[in-house]
Structure 1
Amino acid sequence: MGAGDGSRRRAGPWRRALLAGLLTAAVAAPLSGAARPRIPAPAPAALPPITATTLRTAYAANRADAARAADMAAAHGDPHRAAADRALAAPSRRLLAFDGRGAGQATEVLGDLARADRTAVLVPGSDTSLDTYARFHEAAAALYTDLAHRAPRGTRTAVVAWLGYRTPATVSTAVTTTTRAEQAAPRLRAFVRHLRAATPPQAHISLLCHSYGTVVCGRAAAAPGLDADDIALVGSPGTGADCVAGLHTRARIWAARGSDDWIAHVPHAAADLFGTTIGFGTDPVSRAFGARVFDAADAGHSGYFTPGSVSLANLARITLGETPEVTRA
């Protein structure tokens, strides 16, 4: 689903022209993930539903799959993927899910999920795959470290890095539409539902969504069943909704954009081009959208989880439910 008809009407000729240019550039771009040979890996392990008592089984089974995938990637002549898989197979890693086939998917836990009072789920944007997973893990680890220092005594925290969908390439037609987000949305809703079964009954769950991941979160929220308490949108091109009310969620909606983030120059509009809706509608940090806008200082597009940054501190406060302490833009 794209933005509403009103949003499309507001997309003036210059915005339509720019959106068309973006689409044309994406179509003509020489970069293509399809040109890369498919990387072999075992099929994902068949596991019981996630609960507090099945976590250890899931972690062990997925680490074993990652180890097998590393061996297969090495035999296939892909040392980079083999190294990425091998890192995930380390005894210290807690994988709720792993699929080494193609671009790959993984869901990793930092912290004691079964006892966590406050859990943050990170939803990544474009160009996130097993090949680039290390930087996604780095963001999750930075948040977990900040939460550990900031949490009040007795509060247990966990962070989940959810690479549970096939992200679009930054230079591609897919990154300009909600198609990948529509495919990912039911998976995210199901994951959060299962997460509830693995955490304490009154656990607070926040979705921290970055870049194209904010489109995924927006589409997940727009249909019934997303059981999250807070949704934070950072570096967002839009959600496909005209306003917070259009997300149809009980969750509190937050949004931020750093002053050095290039996403500010992407048209926040939607237009029907070549039979497809291009663009994601209203800017989430605009007054018209109606989110709780918080300070991200001078964060660049990839800098929202930088240790010591204003944006990371505010994302930690949102996760901890320290609403009055969140600094506003």
Structure 2
Amino acid sequence: MLIDLRSDTVTRPSPGMRRAMYEAEVGDDVFGEDPTVRRLEARVAELLGKEAALFVPSGVMGNQLAIKVLTRPGDEVLLGRESHIFNYESGAPALISGVQLHPLDDTPGWFTPEALALAVRHGHDWEPRSRLVCLENTHNRAGGVVIPPDVVEAVTAEARRHGLALHLDGARLWHASVALGVPEHRLAAPFDTVSVCLSKGLGAPVGSVLAASADLIAEARRFRKLLGGGMRQVGVLAAAGLYALEHHRPLLAEDHAKARRLAEGIAELPAFEIDLERVQTNIVRFDVRRGTAESVLAQLRDEGVLMVAFGPRTIRATTHRDVSMQDIDRALAILHRLFGRPSA
């Protein structure tokens, strides 16, 4: 049996979730008539402390709708060089919103208010206009680290000092909330728009939600339709999201514990290098001391363990509800057998 640690997107609906999907009350959501979608949107808006929310097919669409409603063509968006929006969204900001991305160093998982202040344009006619700042919490490429609340406060305060809008890519904000012991609405409070994912750690098959003011969501709803994201009897998917929020969200700490077990076992192996302080949620990022990430992944694949490369010598493993602690122990046994030798 495969132990799939490539991503928390590989999860499958639980039996209870499948039941909820089967029994979902549905209507035409483009007409605003799907009661299950409306309940999901209201619930997420409540959890994030925003006036309204919009169910969208993907986190990419949620992020891109936020950029669209908060900018004008020719504007500039300041964000992390390692962020999901900059690396994994197909250049969509330029195509959809006509904006320029200005990446800042976010190696720790965030950039500093000082770096932000230096990057903000001064309003000259020959410059793009700084309009929006985007943060990512938790930060995927940094290894699932949580942005400390005091850093969020400092960076967002600096952005407001310059009159900039704020978007939070909170695909794994649920994990940040668990790790910090802080409710999601407090983590979302400084931002104009917040996107959260239902199909990663929460285990729903499809969907993300964008939350913001009622006016911004009304505008985002129009652009969702323009982009082909209007969906009809989609309550069957919204029901999965509602079920995940009620039944799967309280279990996220278990995924963090699995990641910690995996990270501590990897730390025992001289073949790898790992910073345990950066294993804070459900992502484990580690480096190969000799050889390449791909060579290690090929050996693990042959043994039924799947992870992904995050660079020539960097590997990411992501724990989730569909891998058990016993699976983690089996994966560690394989890692130790393959790479525990001095010559590894």
Length-normalised TM-score, structure 1? 0.27
* Structure (1 or 2) with the greater helix fraction: 2
Larger Cα Rg: Structure 1 or Structure 2? 2
Higher relative contact order (Cα pairs below 8 Å, separated by 6+ residues): 2
